[in-house]
C-alpha cells in the first residue's frame, strides 16, 4: 500500500514504493527506467503475478506530483541529459511550465499500466 499523503515529490515516491514492496529501506527503482524494470519482474517485484499496489489518497499525490514537480524533475533531467536529448527535454520543460503535457503522476501511472497492467489500484 502506498500512502499518498507521504508522496509529495518523486523522491518520496521512490522511498514509499521501495518500502511498500521490500520493507524499510527497500529499493524499487530510483528513476523511471529502473522503476519500469522493477515492475517487469525479477528485480524486486513479488514472484507471483498476483499482487496489487493500492495507492491510497492518490489525489493528494496527484496534486503534489503535478506541474511544479514536473518542472522541477525536468530541470534536473535537463541538467544531466545527453546533449542529443536536450531539445526534447527542453520542449517538455517548456510545455510543463505552461501547464501542458504529462505530469510526474501521469508518468508513474503510465509505467504501472504499461509494465504491470492491473497491478495499480488508485484509491
Q: Where are the alpha helices (DSSP H) in the chain?
A: 10-22, 32-39, 58-64, 67-80, 86-97, 104-115
pLDDT at 43 over 70: no
The mean per-residue pLDDT over the stretch 99-123 comes to 96
pLDDT at 45 over 90: no
Buried b / exposed e across 96-109, counting CB within 10 Å, b at 16+? beeeebebbbebbb
In a domain, 27, yes or no: yes
pTM exceeding the 0.85 threshold for the entire prediction: yes
Q: What is the CATH number of the domain that holds 118?
A: 3.30.370.10
Residue 13 domain boundaries? 2-66+103-122
In a domain, 94, yes or no: no
Q: What is the pLDDT of residue 44?
A: 60
Q: What percent of the chain has pLDDT over 70?
A: 93
Q: What percent of the chain has pLDDT over 90?
A: 82
Spell out the residues 6+ positions from residue 75 whose beta carbon is closer than 8 angstroms to its own: 93
Amino acid at each position: 500500500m502506498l500512502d499518498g499523503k507521504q508522496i509529495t515529490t518523486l523522491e518520496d515516491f521512490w522511498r514509499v514504493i521501495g518500502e511498500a514492496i521490500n520493507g524499510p529501506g527497500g529499493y524499487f527503482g530510483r528513476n523511471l527506467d529502473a522503476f519500469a524494470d522493477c515492475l517487469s519482474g525479477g528485480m524486486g517485484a513479488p514472484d507471483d503475478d498476483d499482487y496489487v499496489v493500492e495507492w491510497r489518497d492518490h489525489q493528494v499525490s496527484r496534486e503534489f506530483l503535478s506541474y511544479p514537480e514536473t518542472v522541477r524533475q525536468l530541470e534536473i533531467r535537463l541538467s544531466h541529459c545527453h546533449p542529443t536529448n536536450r531539445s526534447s527535454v527542453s520542449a517538455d520543460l517548456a510545455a510543463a511550465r505552461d501547464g501542458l503535457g504529462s505530469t510526474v503522476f501521469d508518468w508513474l501511472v503510465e509505467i504501472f499500466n504499461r509494465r504491470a497492467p492491473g497491478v495499480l489500484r488508485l484509491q
